[in-house]
Amino acid sequence: MSDVVLDRVAKHYGATVAVESMSLRIGSGELVALLGPSGCGKTTTLRMVGGFVPLSSGLITVGGRDVSALPPSRRNMGFVFQNYALFPHMTVAQNVAFGLEMRKLGRAEIETRVTGALERVRLGAFRDRYPRQLSGGQQQRVALARALVVEPDVLLLDEPLSNLDASLRQEMKIEIRQLQQALGLTTIFVTHDQDEAMSTADRMVLMHRGRVEQAGPPAEVYSRPRSAFAAGFLGVANLVPGRMTRMDTGSDTGRGDGFVTRAGPVLRLRGHRSIQGDCVLALRGEEVTLRTGQPAGDENALSGRVALATFHGVAIEYHVETEAGLRLVARVPAPGVGGPEVMAHGAEVLACWAPDAGVLVAET
């Protein structure tokens, strides 16, 4: 079985650090998504695993075997490139056969495996076409078949869906996940799209400035971001900055500057981890309710006016400008799906959220 271990792997280009001492273990058969904004080091990391970028320091092992110094041709990894990198002068079948020829397999064996691989990606009828005669999605599947047919120890995918249009991306996402699970392949998937990462990965590794910001199962990372960056990148709409001067775990309240709610500079909290000093309350738009009367129960509340409303089909997003000059986003079900009536621009509202809503993270 082939688990991949990155042990304090780093990459420097002169004085610039692309990847800073990264340690990560990808279990056998696991799909790990490396997620982050461009320039975060995710592609460099993948290319180091693939053997295209030499390591500045650290170690990469596959199934316990050190591959750090091996050229790509001797790592037995399947790499799917962002632009697919299909050989334009070879037919689909020749592209897929290339890796098998390099492994000096017999003609009959190559033929059987190429046919099998093309069937698996439903391209059997296209075997004699040239890459330029295929659509983007078909090229993508050829690239996948070419990488898989050599029975690699590890599958590496570099932004494989970024060149496809939205509907095809959805389809390919599912196809890649199913293939990967069926073959039980250890897989690293690089993407800048959190939806892609969440819907395909067993584990998500969020990277920022060459470091791992947060790693874990998608559901956990999504609901419990550990930093303001993670919260922002994962699409948390509200990052309310403040300063925690006292956190009262007995009564579950926090006292501080910045969190000026209707109850004064007090934040009602329940079930949050203890934190001191500069911090951010990361609140999803869905967690904020807009009310016209009184806050319900022990909700936190800020009063303000509707500054902007945008329609998103099933939901409406209201941007509320609070009296303290803060802008809060509330995502409310649209009237068509049982939500409240649309609020007018300038309407006075209370933006409310429950004490257990959101995540408190330290300011970075």
Partner 1 sequence: MPSSPPPAARLRGSGPVLPAVLFVLAGMIAPLALMLRTSFDRFDPETLIVSALTLDNYLRFFETPFFREVLGRTIAISALSTAICLILGLPVAYYLARFPTGAAKSRLLMLILVPLLIGNAVRTSAWMLILNDHGVLAAGLARLGISGPLGLMYSASGVMIALVSVLLPFMIITLNSVFEGIETTLEEAAGSLGASHLTTMRRVVLPLTLPGVLAGCVLCFTLSMNAYATPVLIGGPKFHMMAPTVYQQITEAMNWPFGSALAFVLMGMTLGLTVGLTLAVQRRYRRWMA
Q: Report the interface residues with partner 1, using CB under 8 A.
A: 50-52, 71-79, 81-83, 85-90, 98-99, 102-103, 130-132, 146-147, 150
Residue owning tokens 């941007």: 319
Widest distance between CA atoms in the chain? 79
Q: How far apart are CA 299 and CA 350, in angstroms?
A: 11
DSSP assignment of 302-341, as one string?
EEEEEEEEEE-SSEEEEEEEETTS-EEEEEEE-GGGT-PP
Half-sphere exposure of 364 (CA within 13 A, CB side): 13
Nearer to partner 1, 132 or 312 (CB): 132
Min separation Cβ 146 and partner 1, Å: 7
- CA angle centred on 138, ends 132 and 140, rounded to 5°: 95
Min separation Cβ 74 and partner 1, Å: 8
Short-list 336, 355, 316, 338, CA closest to 347: 316
Nearer to partner 1, 42 or 272 (CB): 42
Min separation Cβ 205 and partner 1, Å: 22
Min separation Cβ 62 and partner 1, Å: 13
Nearer to partner 1, 52 or 111 (CB): 52
Nearer to partner 1, 142 or 275 (CB): 142
Cβ atoms within 10 Å, residue 253: 17
Nearer to partner 1, 49 or 230 (CB): 49
Min separation Cβ 288 and partner 1, Å: 45
Q: How far apart are CA 37 and CA 206, in angstroms?
A: 9
Nearer to partner 1, 86 or 361 (CB): 86
Residue 255's H or E segment, with its range, is: strand 253-257
Min separation Cβ 53 and partner 1, Å: 10
Min separation Cβ 142 and partner 1, Å: 11
What is residue 223's DSSP assignment? H
Nearer to partner 1, 179 or 352 (CB): 179
| Contact of 333 with 286, CB cutoff 8 Å | no
Q: How far apart are CA 51 and CA 69, in angstroms?
A: 8
